Amino acid sequence: MKQEIIKRLEEIRKRASEVEKVLSNPATVKDRKGFIKLSKEHGKLSEVMRLYRKYNELDEQINEDESLLSTEGEKELLSIAQEEIKNASKEQKEIEEKIISLTSSKRDFKARNAIMEIRAGAGGDEACLFSHDLFRMYSKYAESKGWKVEIMNSHPIGLGGFKEIIFLVSGKESYQRLKYESGVHRVQRIPVTESGGRIHTSTSSVAIFPEVEEKDIKIDQKDLKIDTFRSGGAGGQSVNKVSSAVRIAHIPTGITVSCQDERSQYQNRIRAMKILLAKLYNMTKKKDEDAVASERKSQIGGQDRAEKIRTYNFPQRRITDHRINFTSYRLPEIMEGNLDEIIDKLQEANIEL
């Protein structure tokens, strides 16, 4: 088990001890809300500690079996010891994954699908092309995981990029894995439109929302303003003669979403509502924010070149995640969807209850 996880588990052990002491105080029971909150926290901490104890027990078993292997014992006993080490190591790996899962994300969202929004930032057409590259990277990653990608809305440009693209990633733990991608992504490369061979810096922002069901959040239909309009693609392509595109505005918060990729107004409306629900739910989880602008700012900033979580340097084939000071020179492979190495490290570095 990596030191970052062990360090966090020791912190959890201390916190569990503190909570137990508070709960054992008769005065705590008088504060019903506080008692319930602490009891729930204690339950989560206890489950993590149970797994940690089991992991350490398996460690002791492995050490004993390894000591046996260093002696000249009977072949049958040595074979048993080897098998026990193999099984214990496998169980340890499963326990470690459970611990990371329990401590790295809110369990409510563990099985949620992810709604991803990529927007071109600074850099003009090159930023739009980079947004397309990010969409392709995430699509490849989803394919490797057996997840399904469904475009919900997009605004393409003639060169093949996207000013904006919103898509649903459906599959086991898709939100749990992809949530770490939220932020500003910076690219450094020679654009295809650059004749002088100069390296440009551009940005695209990525926002991740859990897919939300209507039962998760209540919306008064009176608070919605729904409009329809004719959809159209880049350069006048795919223009519908009927008003199939849908725009939904949530009046109290000012959140507005639109969908036009489907030819059916009904399907566009369903997709627009999915996006709206996700954004509303995400905003209500942040008590200190009362508008979508501040919610988006906390997730992706102002799209400035300086506000970045990751840099993709194509001339040096280098990718750097600035949150964890991780650098890899496998940029081409990562752009083909091999994201597990980075996401694993982010998950380990961000573990929290």
Mean pLDDT of the 124-141 span: 95
Give yes or no: residues 12 and 97 share one domain: yes
Average model confidence (pLDDT) for the chain?
A: 83
pLDDT tier, 302 (very low <50, low <70, confident <90, very high otherwise): low
Distance CA 149, CA 167 (A): 7
pLDDT tier, 231 (very low <50, low <70, confident <90, very high otherwise): low
Q: Are strands 245-250 and 310-313 parallel, antiparallel or unpaired?
A: unpaired
Residue 287: what pLDDT? 44
Mean pLDDT of the 132-144 span: 97
Choosing from 56, 83, 104, the residue where a domain stops is: 104
pLDDT tier, 162 (very low <50, low <70, confident <90, very high otherwise): very high
Mean pLDDT of the 239-252 span: 75
Domain enclosing residue 137, as ranges: 108-201+301-349
240 pLDDT above the threshold of 80: no
Within 10 Å of residue 2's Cβ, how many Cβ atoms?
Answer: 12
| Angle between helix 3-23 and 340-349 (nearest 10) | 30
Token look-up 């009891």 returns: 39
Q: Which residue, 177, 227, 211, is CA-closest to 280?
A: 211
Better-scored residue on pLDDT, 212 or 142? 142
Choosing from 72, 104, 136, the residue where a domain stops is: 104
288 pLDDT above the threshold of 70: no
Mean pLDDT of the 276-296 span: 60
Residue 189: what pLDDT? 94
Number of domains in the chain: 2
184 pLDDT above the threshold of 70: yes
Mapping DSSP onto H, E and C, the string for the chain reads: CCHHHHHHHHHHHHHHHHHHHHHCCHHHHHCHHHHHHHHHHHHHHHHHHHHHHHHHHHHHHHHHHHHHHCCCCCHHHHHHHHHHHHHHHHHHHHHHHHHHHHHHCCHHHCCCCEEEEEEECCCCHHHHHHHHHHHHHHHHHHHHHCCEEEEEEEEECCCCCEEEEEEEEECCCHHHHHHHHCEEEEEEECCCCCCCCCCEEEEEEEEEEECCCHHHCCCCHHHEEEEEECCCCHHHCCCCCCCCEEEEEECCCCEEEEECCCCCHHHHHHHHHHHHHHHHHHHHCCCCCCCHHHHHHHHHCCCCCCCCCEEEECCCCEEEECCCCEEECCHHHHHCCCCHHHHHHHHHHCCCC
Give yes or no: residues 37 and 178 share one domain: no
Give yes or no: residues 194 and 310 share one domain: yes
Q: Are strands 183-189 and 310-313 parallel, antiparallel or unpaired?
A: parallel
Give yes or no: residues 188 and 307 share one domain: yes
Question: Mean pLDDT lowest for which of 57-61, 211-215, 297-301?
Answer: 297-301
Choosing from 54, 83, 104, the residue where a domain stops is: 104
133 within a domain of the structure (yes/no): yes
Distance CA 115, CA 120 (A): 17
pLDDT in tens, 42-86: 888 999 999 999 999 999 999 988 888 877 667 788 888 889 999
263 pLDDT above the threshold of 60: yes
Token look-up 């329990």 returns: 102
pLDDT tier, 293 (very low <50, low <70, confident <90, very high otherwise): very low
Give yes or no: residues 185 and 41 share one domain: no
Residue 232: what pLDDT? 61
Give yes or no: residues 113 and 182 share one domain: yes
CATH number for 113: 3.30.70.1660
304 pLDDT above the threshold of 50: no
pLDDT tier, 331 (very low <50, low <70, confident <90, very high otherwise): very high
pLDDT tier, 314 (very low <50, low <70, confident <90, very high otherwise): very high
294 pLDDT above the threshold of 60: no
